[in-house]
Amino acid sequence: MEILESKKIQEKAYIETLKNGMKVIIVPKPNLDKKYIIWGTHFGSIDNRFIMPKTNEEVFIPDGVAHFLEHKMFEQPNGTNSLDTLMALGLDANAYTTNDHTAYLFECTDNFYEGLDELMDYVQHPYFTDQNVEKEKGIIAQEIKMYDDEPSWRLYMNIMDCLYKDNPIKIDIAGSVKSISQITPDVLYKCYNTFYNPSNMVMVVCGNFVPEEILEEIKKRLVEKEEQGEIKRIYPPEEKEINKQYKEVEMEVSLPMFAIGFKDTEEKTDKKELVNKHIAIEILLNMIIGKSSDVFKNLYENGTLLGQPDLDYEFSDEYAHIVISGQSKDPEQVKEKIVSEIERLKQEGLTGEHFNRIKRKIYGDYVAEYNSVGNIARMFLADTFKGINSFDYIENYDSITKEYTKNILDRVLKKENMAMSVVKCKNLK
């Protein structure tokens, strides 16, 4: 097995690529009682147009198929539901779909191998019929409507609509009521057979395991499938400009909500540079509007901000953006203060004391991630699909200088790439 190591935090990851192309990552945590396993496929909501590896057939699928497929994987021919079976074993089981991957998981202290039996059985044996697919459409339609009424989700989807014109990231992960009505068992099987091939999947196990032993247990439970080759995914041409600067809706909220987005339009560089850039952006966002920043203190103390905003940088090969979101009685004032602070830092530079303090705080956050088996496993899965070594966030930390971070500030946080989404209170005029 290949061994990745972070000497700074004394952690190792053992990686094996099996004959069928599947990657297994084992992160031993001998001093923890909890065990965590996550099995993901590189198939998310943005993958709605692709060429099948063996037939070279170009396939267009309705929006929401990856999420629909995730829901359907639990249903078994004997009428049982694998999620219920895992829960009955005392396991904390779940699944989720993101823009670029789908994952099945559980966490436990006991009954790990019984859970492994069930997990590896249901993920490898799909069961779709006209009847159970039609039934699921009604369930997911209700979920879509529920999210449409969720202010924080509307806020996020609206900032995506502001930042992107045709990129599929602006499409709801669950699709729409109209799009899921077009899903059939044939569509699901076609996507399952394409994207759930082991060569497109990664499994991460974290806990008190001997790497060689758990690897053998996983191999024993694998259904034999041959590696199918690369899936060619087709996306719209990359857009440099934002779609619109502002979008607002009125909903039942106690205080207006805002999301300020910056589209990162830079060319995608090598993977280590992406990690460095991510670290620098986290430092910048905390310097601009983090808990210890002057901007946050002033806005919070005068009652403009309800609490510390969420600060996120999301990126893949197909998209990259910053989102600053929170609640405020005056979102426009928050935006003005953030813009003003960005311009001040561009002109005056980053002060060494503030930079170093925030940099240490970010490093502490990274180290703390390794106290949780779930955080470790989910992080390694998501980073692997991005082509990133998760340990690089720890190992590259020292190389992030004030000068490099200032350069990222100038390159990425541009006013012309900024947009804002607001959810206003219905009762306010």
Q: Which residues are catalytic?
A: 70
- Packed helices 185-195 and 65-72: angle between N→C axes, nearest 10 degrees: 90
Rg (CA), the chain: 23
**Do the Cβ atoms of 43 and 195 come closer than 8 Å?**
yes
Q: DSSP of 259-284, one letter per residue?
A: EEEEE--SPP--HHHHHHHHHHHHHH
Q: Pull the structure tokens for residue 292.
A: 């210890």
Burial 312-322 (b: 16+ CB within 10 A, else e): bbbbbebbbbb
Q: What letter represents residue 415's amino acid?
A: K
Q: Three-state SS for 15?
A: strand
Report long-range pairs for 305-312 (Cβ below 8 Å, ≥24 apart).
305/334, 306/255, 309/334, 311/282, 311/285, 311/286
Owner of token pair 């779940």: 94
Which residue in 315, 306, 323, 210 sits closest to 268, CA to CA?
Answer: 315
Q: What's the first-to-final CA gap in the chain, in angstroms?
A: 63
Q: DSSP of 108-164, one letter per residue?
A: ESS-HHHHHHHHHHHHH-----HHHHHHHHHHHHHHHHHHHT-HHHHHHHHHHHHH-
**Do the Cβ atoms of 205 and 24 come closer than 8 Å?**
yes
Q: Which H helix or E strand runs over 323?
A: strand 320-327
- What are 49's strand-pairing partners? 60
The rounded distance, in Å, linking the Cα atoms of 351 and 340 is 16
Q: Three-state SS for 288?
A: helix
The rounded distance, in Å, linking the Cα atoms of 240 and 263 is 8
Q: Pull the structure tokens for residue 381.
A: 């899965």
The rounded distance, in Å, linking the Cα atoms of 48 and 35 is 34
- What are 24's strand-pairing partners? 16, 203
* 274 secondary structure, DSSP code: H
The rounded distance, in Å, linking the Cα atoms of 333 and 99 is 32
